[in-house]
Amino acid sequence: MSIRELDSRSSDGITTRLLWADGDGRLFVDVSDAKTGDAFSLEIHDQSCALDVFQHPYAYVEGRSAKAQPASAIVA
């Protein structure tokens, strides 16, 4: 399976990437904080909200349309 980056942005050491797994069509938002070393990925189950999750990932960590997991567990 190949992972493709659809979009990314970085601000104040936090990098956010919108990723697509071309093998099965899953979408993810991957967030990493260079200052703290924290990182997580959200699998987007409702693709209609993919851009909103990309723009506001912290709002979706507890949301219904995305599931938080360690970045290495989803995007490997």
What pLDDT band is residue 5 in, cutting at 50, 70 and 90? very high
Q: Check residue 71 and give its pLDDT.
A: 59
Please indicate whether residue 12 or residue 67 has the higher confidence score (pLDDT).
Answer: 12
pLDDT digits (tens, 9 = 90+) for 29-66: 999 999 999 999 999 999 999 999 999 999 988 755 55
Does 75 have pLDDT greater than 60?
Answer: no
In this predicted structure, what is the pLDDT of residue 61?
A: 82
Of 74, 29, 34, whose CA–CA distance to 55 is shortest?
29
Does residue 4 surpass a pLDDT of 80? yes
Is residue 21 a contact partner of residue 28, using CB atoms and an 8 Å limit?
yes
Q: Which residues lie closer than 8 Å to 70 by C-beta, 6 or more apart?
A: 39, 40, 41
Q: Around Cβ 35, how many Cβ atoms within 10 Å?
A: 8
How far is 2 from 68, CA to CA, in rounded Å?
A: 21
Q: Would you say 36 and 29 are in contact if contact means Cβ atoms under 8 Å apart?
A: no
